[in-house]
Structure 1
Amino acid sequence: MASSILKRTSCSAMKSAVEILRIGASSRAYASVAVGTDIVSAAPGVSLQKARSWDEGVSSKFSTTPLKDIFKDKKVVVFGLPGAYTGVCSTQHVPSYKKNIDKFKAKGIDSVICVAVNDPYVLNGWAEKLQAKDAIEFFGDFDGSFHKSLDLGVDLSAALLGPRSQRWSAYVVDGKVKVFNLEKAPSEFEVSGGEVILGQI
């Protein structure tokens, strides 16, 4: 009896969380970034934090990576997601890029990058759990400044996540956006996956 009640409660809570994510963003699934945008110029002065352990952070004096070092003179596939350890991000979004990494390399992509509004230590633990660090570079946008600059931020406080990122993907050549995909809501996974952008390159 107790287990059946718990199961019903868990399913109900899960559905509620998904609905919160949908409602939280469905009314503003837009961004100022678009095809032709220069990402480096659109987010002046913004740097990201490469996923790393705390000890690595200390030894590097908590260094950050300027956007020009990530995008300039390179072909990059980048995708953003609401956060480490969350459902769709863990089970679908990151795996869709990990399993296609050889196909991206075959198309001349220099790097596949995941950016999330998390600190680099959480991202590091998550990337290791997903066994994805060898395929994908993970960068933390710890204060959300990167996503805010591109108008890709979203408030998911209703799901106890606070300020986060929309779910999106882009193909960027020498800093310029060549392909851009944005989901209607963070809970959806229709246009930002690895297979979709692979076919757009």
Structure 2
Amino acid sequence: MTIKIGDRLPSSALFEMTADGPQTRSMDELTRGRRIVLFAVPGAFTPTCSARHVPGFLEQYAQFKAKGIDEILCVSVNDPHVMGAWGKSQEIDGKIRMLGDGNAEFTRAVGLDVDQSAQGRGTRSQRYSLYAEDGVIRLLNVEQPGKFEVSDAGTLLIQLDRLEKRHG
């Protein structure tokens, strides 16, 4: 079943490259008592992900922080070494946490996995973005296959503005 607004993010393990090597991070730990933005991509170093998705969140980083977002998370079905190298190549400078979901545990738990075996990529994530408060999804944007129209940073910022206006 695919996640929806109002659902709690699953407490799956993700992996992050640190100065001390790969470290396990639980979604509970990453979201407890926090306001987070999470975006997921089909793969590190892929064209749209590298040229548009990550750069958009980097460019809008200050606007997200101004809205009280504690952290921006990027998830991909890649190992933490690949995510760490991709973060360096994208010059994230600590602005985005690059989290590997190498076994697609989290991706399957949210119901946004896609089989790309025919293209030689195995299980991958659909492209999406979300905003969560204390682990509960408040905004969710899932792309149609092959598209990049609703999961970008700008769309999420507009939605956060609307959410703030509705809830004062």
The corresponding residue for 1:196 is 155
1:130 and 2:96 aligned: no
Q: Report which of the two has the higher share of helix.
A: 1
The one-letter code of the counterpart of 1:37 is D
Q: Is the CA contact 1:52–1:120 (under 8 Å) kept in the aligned structure 2?
A: no
Distance 2:138 2:8 in 1: 10
C-alpha root-mean-square deviation of aligned residues, in Å? 1.2
The one-letter code of the counterpart of 2:70 is D
Unaligned stretches of 5+ in structure 2? Answer: 161-168
1:102-132 Cα distance to aligned partner (Å, 9 max, x none): 0000000000110000000001001100101
SS in structure 1 opposite 2:159? coil
Larger Cα-atom Rg: 1
Q: Is the CA contact 2:17–2:23 (under 8 Å) kept in the aligned structure 1?
A: no
Distance 2:41 2:17 in 1: 15
1:125-147 Cα distance to aligned partner (Å, 9 max, x none): 01100101421111111100001
Distance 2:138 2:29 in 1: 18
Distance 2:111 2:18 in 1: 26
The corresponding residue for 2:15 is 49
Q: Report which of the two has the higher share of strand.
A: 2
Q: TM-score of the superposition, structure 1-length normalised?
A: 0.77
How many residues are aligned here? 160
Q: TM-score of the superposition, structure 2-length normalised?
A: 0.91
Q: Is the CA contact 1:81–1:89 (under 8 Å) kept in the aligned structure 2?
A: yes
1:38 and 2:4 aligned: no
Deviation larger for 113-122 or 155-164: 155-164
Greater than 3 Å deviation, 4+ residue runs: none
Unaligned stretches of 5+ in structure 1? Answer: 1-30
Match of 1:169 among 96, 105, 129: 129
SS in structure 1 opposite 2:64? helix
SS in structure 1 opposite 2:74? strand
1:74-117 Cα distance to aligned partner (Å, 9 max, x none): 00000000010101000011111000000000000000110000
